[in-house]
Amino acid sequence: MMLIRHVHRVAASQAARVASGDATAAQACAAVIRHGTSLAVTAHYFGADDIADAIAAVTDREAARLNPAWCDAEPSAVAAGEPA
């Protein structure tokens, strides 16, 4: 799935920014969530709910990998049952 790979690429890019000191873990996490949410909402709009759910799950996982403290802050969109 091309959209899921895009979320992985954004996360990898943000991880590199964190490693180089150009961004904090929280900033990188927010960027991944922004991109992933945008893609998931677009997929949902076009009726691809299964793809939207998959994108939301990958977004949650990548955001948690970049910033583990984010997991403790609030429930993820997938866990809360909300469309991302």
Whether 84 has a pLDDT exceeding 70, the answer reads no
Q: Which band of pLDDT confidence, cut at 50, 70 and 90, is reported for residue 17?
A: very high
What pLDDT score was predicted for residue 33?
Answer: 94
Average of per-residue pLDDT values in the chain = 87
Cα 31 to Cα 24: distance, rounded to the nearest angstrom: 11
Q: What is the pTM of this model?
A: 0.80
- Average pLDDT in the 7-25 region? 95
pLDDT of 34 strictly over 70 = yes
**Would the pLDDT of 75 be above 90?**
no
Q: Which H or E run includes 11?
A: helix 2-20
Q: Report yes or no: 67 and 26 within 8 Å, Cβ to Cβ.
A: yes
